[in-house]
Amino acid sequence: MSAAAERQRAAPAEPDRLEGFSSPREVDRVFGHEAAIAEFEDALRSGRMHHAWLLTGPEGIGKATLAYRFARTVLAHGGHHGEAEAIFRKVAALSHPNLLLLLRPYNEKTKRYGQWISVDEVRRLRAFLGNTAGESGWRVVIVDRADELNTNAANALLKALEEPPGQTLFLLISAAEGRLPVTIRSRARTLRLFPLQESDVERAVRAALARDGYETDEATLATALALAQGSVRRALELISSEGIGLYGEIIDTFARLPELDATRLHKVVDGLSNASESERLELYFSLLLGLIERLIRFAATGEGATDRERELGLRLLSRANLAYWAGAWEAIAEERSEAIALNLDKSLLVLDTWFRLQKLAREHPV
């Protein structure tokens, strides 16, 4: 069992934690995002720190890791350098009295996380912000993720953002900025984060593997890095799960278009449509959409694909049919989100996706 897996036994439940690896609050180094770090620390040093920051960007690029770094920086501000290690330990354990984490609650009866951050969760702010028994200095509230607030919870958070106590910092994490009410966005300073450079992804992934005692071979690592698209989480998912195998299945199916192997496809569907396989289904569609996105980019620019993907791109895509492929990407992404949000039939989702791609390859060939 890895070091991270041992810690998870006693760790508070976190809906987005990647099994087998450290939580972002347990990571002591951020790779990339230098401009965002400089902007935040300049604001702190200048004494003109905005009370709320919105950290937004794609999944898995280090938004939460960066938020916890900011929290530690603020909690240590004005103190002694020797306190940094103690603050890191307290933040990692969520035991610092001046730190509050708001997230989707876990239901012990159903063994599932709630779909939304509830108003009861946000009401914890009242006691936290009114508490005078904590350590002196800044108080930090991390909302992970802010786009998962339900309507009542968002309204409750808005009240706190409108009249925050002095030396209070809100760090709102979001992968879907557009889902946040405009009223909340308007009261936060936005830091838009972007996919990491390949070198930063590799350094972060190697650091995670070493920190958590996870071993992999260089071939698997190289494939995961090639498919990561600037996301550390994506690379680690590929390494630690069946992600490499799922990607191989996807690209093999693509290679047969416009034909489909019905027997093989139904076997894949059976393995993805069970309720217990929701994370695997999410990874499958992330890999599929990522592949289509890279093929579109390759057809448009001649860049952004692996050797095998380039072969597929040359056979299936051209500038003449590029708009159709872009439209298919948007439709699949929308249908995936709708099926997950409304708990629709996942087997039909997978089948409809491949029938859509088959029709596209037949009707709009190169």
162-171: pLDDT as tens digits: 999 999 999 9
Output the pLDDT for position 243: 87
Q: Are residues 173 and 149 in contact, defined by beta-carbon separation less than 8 angstroms?
A: no
Q: Considering Cα of 114, then 120, then 121, then 122, what sign does the dihedral take?
A: positive
**pLDDT (mean) for 265-269:** 92
Q: Which two tokens stand for residue 254?
A: 């693509």
Average pLDDT, the chain: 90
The answer, yes or no, to whether the previous bond of 145 is cis (omega within 30 of 0) is: yes
- Mode of pairing for the β-strands spanning 106-107 and 112-113: antiparallel
Question: Rounded CA gap, 42 and 31, in Å?
Answer: 19
- In the block, tokens 């808005």 appear at 158
Output the pLDDT for position 202: 97
Q: Tell me the angle at which helices 262-272 and 243-256 cross, rounded to the nearest 10 degrees.
A: 150
In this prediction the pTM is 0.82
198-255: pLDDT as tens digits: 999 999 999 999 999 999 999 999 999 988 989 999 999 899 878 898 999 999 999 9
Buried/exposed 296-305: b ≥16 CB within 10 Å, e otherwise: bebbeeeebb
HSE-up of residue 309 (Cα within 13 Å, Cβ side): 23
| Residue in 291, 153, 150, 141 with CA at minimum distance from that of residue 226 | 291
Q: Which two tokens stand for residue 196?
A: 């990491």
User: Which H helix or E strand runs over 106?
Assistant: strand 106-107
